[in-house]
Amino acid sequence: MASDYLEVVIIGSGTAVPSRRRGSPALAIQAGGTFLLLDIGPGTLRAMLNYGLNFNDIDVLCLSHQHPDHVADLVAFLFASRYGLGYTRQDPVWLVAAQGFQEFYHRLRGVWGEWLEPPAGLLNVKEMTTDREDILSLAAVTIKTAPVQHLASSLAFRVEHGGRAVVYSGDTDWSDSLIQLARGADLLILEAANPWKVPGHLTPEEAGRLAAHAGVPRLVLTHFYPPCDEVDMAAACRQEFAGEIILAVDGLRLTV
């Protein structure tokens, strides 16, 4: 019987900058019998194998925005889906992204042609609005999105199952819409890209303040550029947030 718990695996806790310790952004959520992948940065498909995850099993692929460090392995995934001896999936994959994704996908196909065409009937694309919250209800999970301050097409995601909820920011600056999306969630996963302020991203102090405003009990900081490994990111965050603070590392597993 499928569990009501949400199982989270951090596949990549880093950025576009190569790191021995951290891969590019990606995380998996097991929600009952549904496997969701949130972002798919370069190297994600290979890294998944290290954590017992198989690209055949992806049911829902959520893209927070179209920067290469969050989406580059989409090309690898679509190409691998054509591998008839190794890709055995029979049910369609949902690809959930912001309005405008179809145009982005069209441009990718302009480069790679038929090699980015998955087998017929195996891909459903759902574009979410970028000016307000949106919702997609599937059999086992509910996915809610809200626009955040990064790109015009940037989204945060809320995954709900069995009365529990996990929220993932993707890349974001301070966003009231993200606070609203995260209210009542059991776990909030926020980027904290640098110890100092970079427009379009959160500092650990800002991430802590945002989590405090949302009233969540547990906070995961992720999307760390190399300077983050030289300072105490948790201590900085703790100035603003009194709940549990977890610093992401590749392979981190959490139960919600």
Residue 2 pLDDT: 58
Q: Which two three-digit tokens encode residue 127?
A: 């574009």
Q: Are strands 164-168 and 187-191 parallel, antiparallel or unpaired?
A: parallel
Over the stretch 38-93, which tens digit does the pLDDT of each residue have? 999 999 999 999 999 999 999 999 999 999 999 999 999 999 999 988 888 999 99
* Cα–Cα–Cα angle for 39, 43, 46, rounded to 5 degrees: 105
Domains and CATH numbers, the chain: 6-255 (3.60.15.10)
Over the stretch 194-250, which tens digit does the pLDDT of each residue have? 999 999 999 999 999 999 999 999 999 999 999 999 999 999 999 999 999 999 999
Q: Is the pTM of this model over 0.85?
A: yes
Which of the 8 DSSP states describes residue 123?
E
